Amino acid sequence: MARMSQKRKREAIAGYLFITPNLFGFLVFQLIPIAVAIVLGFTEWDLINEPIWVGFSNYRNLLKDPVFQLSVRKTLYFVLVNVPVQSALALLIAILLNRSIRFKNLIRTLFIVPWVSMAVAVGLTWTWIYNSQFGLLNEILVKVGLDKIPWLAHPDWAMISVIVVNIWQFLGFHIIIFLAGLQMIPREVEEAAIVDGASTLTRCFRITLPLISPVLFYDLIVNVIGTFQIFDLPYAMTGGGPGQATRVYNLYLYQKGFQFLRMGEASAMAVMLFIIIGITTAFFFRVVGRRVNYDLT
């Protein structure tokens, strides 16, 4: 009994030691700034003068703000379309690219490339491709005798057009995660299944997917958290327009903080986003996380 607790103690000390560097960076560069932001959420701060304590009034104002409500809806839509399509597509490509095909390394690399290209150029390039009057896509449509499509020009199209670019740009990120996950599957397990005569599809659903479920789970969580905070592409491509069509949450938050000099409200928005994402993630941890097969043996 005493030996057991001795081992426990050693294990705990080792645990703390292993997380020390990480925890240090976390405390200084993450937790303190976040604590500050939470406090600022209760103030009115124009970035120039001292913050003034206003209690919950930022929160009350936000809940009444129609643009705020709109940006929540836009963001939810973005998440609901982007996450399933992006993750499923990436998983499919990763599984296909995990087989032995010729030029495997080259093809894999090429599928991942959009993700490593300079983000600054991505928005610029795609707005040019989408341009309703002079863009490449509409040029092709007209050539084959179809009507032009107002990709970024019409509120009904703009959001989906931006989502497509987002899926395209970060597909490589998810492919890479899935590929790494697939590599962790011990070959023996697959071989055993082949010997047992399982079909490709059965192997995929019965063996591959359950075995990489911690990685699938990781990808889902990271994708949800990341997509809720989408900012760069709508900012670069549409500025939230036309009208309010692509004004997602984080874009509005940024404008509030840096353009409108209402950092207090922006901070309150950040806390509300935290709550929204937190609830969503907690839901996934409860419902999906439990079914994730953590232990292989």
Partner 1 sequence: MKKPLHLVGEVCFYLIIFAILFVYLFPLIWQFSTSLKTMDEVFRGFSLIPNKPIWENYTISLRDFNVGRYLLNTILVAGLITLGQVLSCSMAGYAFAKLRFPGRDFIFFLYLGTMMIPATVTLIPTYVIVLELGWVDSLAGLVIPFFFGNAFGTFLIRQFLQGVPRDLEEAAEIDGAGYFVIWSRVMLPMAKPALATLAVMTLVQQWNSLVWPLIVTQADTWKVLSVGLAAFRLFRTIQWNTMMAAVVMATLPMIVILFLAQRFFIQGIQFSGLNR
Partner 2 sequence: MRKSIVLLVLLALVVASGTAGAQKVTLRYMFWDQNQQEAYAASIDEFMRLNPDIEVVMELAEWNDYWTKLTTGMAARNLPDVFWGHAAYFSAFVARGALLDLQPLIERDNIDTSIYYQSLLDFWSYEGAQYGLAKDWDTIAFFYNKDLFDAAGVPYPSDDWTWNPQDGGEFVRTLQLLTLDDQGRNALDPNFDPKKVVQYGLGDIGGANMQAGWLNFVWMNGGTGVLDKPYGSKLVMNEPECIEVLQFWSDLVNKYHVAPPPEATVAGGSPWDLFTAGRFAMVPAGSWMLTAGRSIEAFSWDVVGMPWGPAGRYSAFNGLAHNIYAQTPHQEEAWRLLEWLEGYESQKIVAEYGCVFPAIGELVPTFLEAYAGRDPENVAVYNDMAENTGTWPMHVNWNEIFDIIQRELDMMLQGFVDAETTVANIEMQVGHLLQ
Q: Which two tokens stand for residue 71?
A: 């940006």
Q: Which two tokens stand for residue 154?
A: 């019409």
| 297 is a contact residue toward partner 2 (CB under 8 A) | no
Segment contacting partner 1 by CB under 8 A, of 49-57, 65-73, 201-209, 267-275:
267-275
User: Cβ–Cβ contacts within 10 Å for residue 101, how many?
Assistant: 10
The distance of closest approach from Cβ of residue 274 to partner 1 in the complex, given in angstroms and rounded to an integer, is 5
Residues 142-171 that bind partner 2 (CB under 8 A): 142, 147-148, 150, 152-155
| 46 is a contact residue toward partner 2 (CB under 8 A) | yes
Alpha helices in the chain (DSSP H): 2-26, 32-40, 57-64, 66-97, 104-116, 119-130, 136-143, 155-183, 187-195, 200-202, 209-211, 213-228, 232-237, 249-254, 263-287
Residue holding tokens 């294990």? 11
Smaller CB separation from partner 1, 81 or 176: 176
| Backbone dihedral angles phi then psi of residue 197, each to the nearest 5 degrees | 85, 25
| 114 is a contact residue toward partner 2 (CB under 8 A) | no
Residues 239-258 that bind partner 1 (CB under 8 A): 250, 253-254, 257-258
Segment contacting partner 1 by CB under 8 A, of 70-78, 79-87, 116-124, 147-155:
116-124
Parallel/antiparallel/unpaired status of strands 43-44 and 52-53: antiparallel
| 200 is a contact residue toward partner 1 (CB under 8 A) | no
| 259 is a contact residue toward partner 2 (CB under 8 A) | yes
CA distance linking residue 173 with residue 167, whole number of Å: 10
43 membership: H or E segment, kind and range: strand 43-44
The distance of closest approach from Cβ of residue 132 to partner 2 in the complex, given in angstroms and rounded to an integer, is 6
The distance of closest approach from Cβ of residue 263 to partner 2 in the complex, given in angstroms and rounded to an integer, is 7
Residues 235-254 that bind partner 2 (CB under 8 A): 236-244
Q: Which residues bind partner 2 (CB under 8 A)?
A: 46-49, 123-135, 142, 147-148, 150, 152-155, 236-244, 255, 258-261, 263
